């Protein structure tokens, strides 16, 4: 028995052996096709930089955001390269949490798409390099449109979409005119609803940081959305996010779907989509204006100021977001799989344009989004199209999203949801000191 006890203590002692320090870069990424491809192709980086090894931490978006925020706020320095979005970059750069990037002249910063570059800059300096960029657009079934005698206009309006959704819907055949996000969350239903509200001239806050949910613009947007979804949307839409709608559209259940431009490659891939040959693309609908009717997002690579391997990390960021990487992906997996939405030169490349029929639409959508202070039809005090780049936004918008999702589920009325949204946003903004 003494021996057993000694063995137990021995094992415990082994467990308490200290960690070994490896000279490696730790890279935090999200789990999406482009990022996974980057991991697979990283041997190219290792060959070009023999002294640097790479460790990957791949997580779901929200889990990653939580972990990385904790790490960076406490300056724990576990990560050398972070994957963050356009929402975090200006906030974190302002806090001094990120290192401004100096990627050398060969990197050609001027080739980055201006809206994406501006979304990742703070005070004129680039704080994150875009890995891929996206906007939102309308995907529709050309066969169902033809059957209903409809033609998609060059610039569709919400009035047209409402009418078309109604004509296409055939609930007995399991076809719903329109599929839109309903799941609550700042990056879920609120990303879509904010752009829809923008198209009716709404904004989150006026110049005094007072919320505007009690105005006619938000009211029109929410009522149009709710009426359309209740009449022509799929059942249980209040729990549908990107993936659920993707599955519905690919399975032939949706006539129209407005979501991320990145979805275009999924729905037009015959390996995973039943309707690949019948998909058409159009800009996101306009209401009273087209300003910021589609969102702007980019997953970008940044270096936390707590990293002690800045020079090596910059080499990696330059490799993963540089022009040569696009060529590498094209050579290995074809032009259709190149990460989209970051560089002008990609959209001048005839091979890419041939391989990706949705490329021009993606570029137009990205180019038309303006996250700046004058991007909406009325001036706003915040940066961002589908979000306001302030730390409080995540919490507030998720709470507002819950109100709107409840209205979609029929648990509350549109006017009540708007009133609650106004009250809770005002309370939080007052508490945070924005409203004096």
Number of residues that bind another protein (CB under 8 A): 55
Interface stretch with another protein, choices 13-21, 95-103, 277-285, 384-392 (CB under 8 A) = 13-21
Nearer to another protein, 28 or 84 (CB): 28
Which residues, 64 to 93, sit near another protein by CB under 8 A? Answer: 66-67, 70-71, 74-76, 78-79
Q: Which is nearer to another protein, 14 or 106 (CB)?
A: 14
Under the binding rule (CB under 8 A), the answer on residue 55 touching another protein is: yes
Examine residue 26 and tell whether it contacts another protein (CB under 8 A): yes
Q: Is 245 in the site for another protein (CB under 8 A)?
A: no
Q: Please report how the helices 310-321 and 323-333 are oriented relative to each other, as an axis angle in degrees rounded to 10.
A: 50
- Of 32-40, 149-157, 287-295, 428-436: span binding another protein (CB under 8 A): 32-40
What residues contact 109, with CB distance under 8 A and at least 6 apart? 103, 117, 126
Closest CA to 257 of 116, 272, 266: 266
Residue 428: CB minimum distance to another protein, A = 20
Contact pick of 114, 236, 251, 334 for another protein (by CB under 8 A): 251
Q: Which tokens in the block code for residue 258?
A: 């407005």
Q: At 141, give phi and psi (nearest 5°).
A: -90, 110
DSSP letter (8 states) at residue 416: H
Q: Are residues 187 and 295 in contact, defined by beta-carbon separation less than 8 angstroms?
A: no
The CA distance from 332 to 321, in Å, is: 16
239 near another protein (CB under 8 A): no
152: left (phi over 0), alpha (psi -120 to 50) or beta: beta
Contact pick of 41, 150, 175, 247 for another protein (by CB under 8 A): 247
Packing angle of the helix pair 414-431, 216-232 (nearest 10 deg): 130
Half-sphere exposure of 436 (CA within 13 A, CB side): 2
In the complex with another protein, the residue whose CB is nearer, 141 or 380, is: 141
Q: Which helix (H) or strand (E) holds 321?
A: helix 310-321
The CB-of-134 to another protein minimum distance in angstroms stands at 9
Residue 37 touches another protein, criterion: CB under 8 A: no
Pick one of 239, 272, 327, 415: the residue that binds another protein (CB under 8 A).
272
Select the residue interacting with another protein from 5, 106, 173, 311 (CB under 8 A): 5
Return all residues near 72 (Cβ < 8 A) that are at least 6 apart.
79, 82, 92, 97, 304, 306
**In contact, 86 and 296? CB cutoff 8 Å:** yes
Q: What is the DSSP string of 232-271?
A: HSPTTGGG--HHHHHHHHHTT-EEEEEEETTHHHHHT-TT
Determine the 3-state secondary structure of 133 from DSSP: strand
CB of 73 to another protein, least distance (A): 9
Site string for another protein, 141-180 (x = CB under 8 A): ----------------------------------------
Q: Which is nearer to another protein, 86 or 376 (CB)?
A: 86
Which listed residue (158, 209, 266, 319) binds another protein by CB under 8 A?
266
Site mask, another protein, residues 182-221, x = CB under 8 A? -----x----------------------------------
Residue 130 binds to another protein (criterion: CB under 8 A): no
Region from 264-272, 310-318, 358-366, 427-435 binding another protein, contact rule CB under 8 A = 264-272
Reported for 107-113, long-range contacts at CB under 8 A and 24+ positions apart, including other chains, are 107/318, 107/322, 108/323, 111/323, 111/343, 111/344, 111/345, 112/342, 112/343, 112/344, 113/341, 113/342, 113/343, 113/344, 113/363, 113/366, 113/367
Shortest distance (Å) from residue 314 CB to another protein? 20
Shortest distance, position 248 Cβ to another protein, whole Å: 8
Residues that bind another protein (CB under 8 A): 1-2, 5, 8-9, 11-12, 14-19, 22, 26, 28, 30-33, 36, 39-40, 55-63, 66-67, 70-71, 74-76, 78-79, 187, 241-243, 246-247, 250-251, 260, 262-263, 266, 271-272
């Amino acid at each position: 028995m003494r021996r057993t006890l000694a063995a137990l203590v021995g094992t415990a002692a082994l467990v308490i052996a200290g960690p070994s320090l490896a000279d490696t870069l730790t890279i935090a990424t999200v789990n999406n096709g482009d990022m996974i491809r980057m991991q697979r192709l990283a041997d190219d980086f290792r060959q070009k930089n023999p002294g640097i090894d790479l460790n990957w931490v791949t997580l779901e978006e929200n889990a990653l955001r939580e972990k990385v925020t904790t790490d960076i706020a406490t300056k724990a320095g576990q990560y050398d390269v972070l994957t963050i979005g356009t929402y975090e970059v200006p906030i974190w750069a302002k806090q001094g949490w990120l290192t401004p990037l100096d990627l050398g002249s060969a990197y050609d910063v001027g080739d980055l798409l201006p809206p994406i570059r501006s979304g990742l800059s703070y005070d004129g300096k680039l704080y994150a390099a875009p890995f891929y960029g996206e906007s939102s657009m309308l995907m529709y079934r050309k066969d169902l449109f033809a059957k209903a005698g409809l033609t998609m206009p060059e610039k569709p309006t919400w009035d047209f979409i409402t009418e078309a959704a109604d004509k296409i819907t055939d609930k007995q055949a399991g076809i719903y005119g329109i599929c839109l996000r309903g799941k609550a969350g700042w990056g879920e239903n609120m990303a879509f609803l904010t752009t829809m509200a923008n198209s009716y001239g709404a904004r989150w806050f006026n110049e005094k940081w007072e919320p505007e949910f009690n105005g006619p613009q938000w009211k029109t947007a929410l009522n149009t959305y709710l009426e359309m979804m209740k009449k022509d949307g799929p059942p249980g839409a209040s729990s549908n996010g990107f993936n659920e709608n993707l599955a519905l559209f690919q399975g032939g259940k949706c006539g129209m779907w407005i979501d991320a431009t990145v979805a275009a490659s999924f729905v037009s891939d015959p390996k995973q989509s039943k309707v690949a040959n019948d998909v058409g693309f159009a800009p996101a609908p306009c209401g009273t204006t087209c300003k910021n009717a589609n969102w702007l997002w980019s997953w970008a690579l940044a270096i936390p100021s707590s990293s002690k391997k800045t020079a090596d990390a910059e080499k990696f960021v330059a490799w993963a977001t540089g022009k040569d990487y696009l060529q590498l992906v094209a050579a290995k997996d074809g032009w259709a799989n190149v990460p989209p939405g970051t560089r002008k030169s990609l959209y001048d490349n005839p091979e890419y344009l041939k391989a990706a029929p949705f490329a021009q639409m993606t570029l137009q959508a990205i180019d038309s989004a303006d996250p700046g202070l004058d991007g909406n039809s009325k001036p706003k005090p915040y940066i961002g199209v589908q979000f306001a780049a302030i730390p409080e936004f995540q919490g507030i918008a998720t709470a507002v999203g819950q109100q709107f999702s409840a209205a979609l589920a029929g648990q509350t009325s549109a006017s009540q949801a708007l009133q609650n949204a106004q009250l809770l946003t005002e309370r939080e903004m007052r508490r945070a000191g924005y409203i004096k």
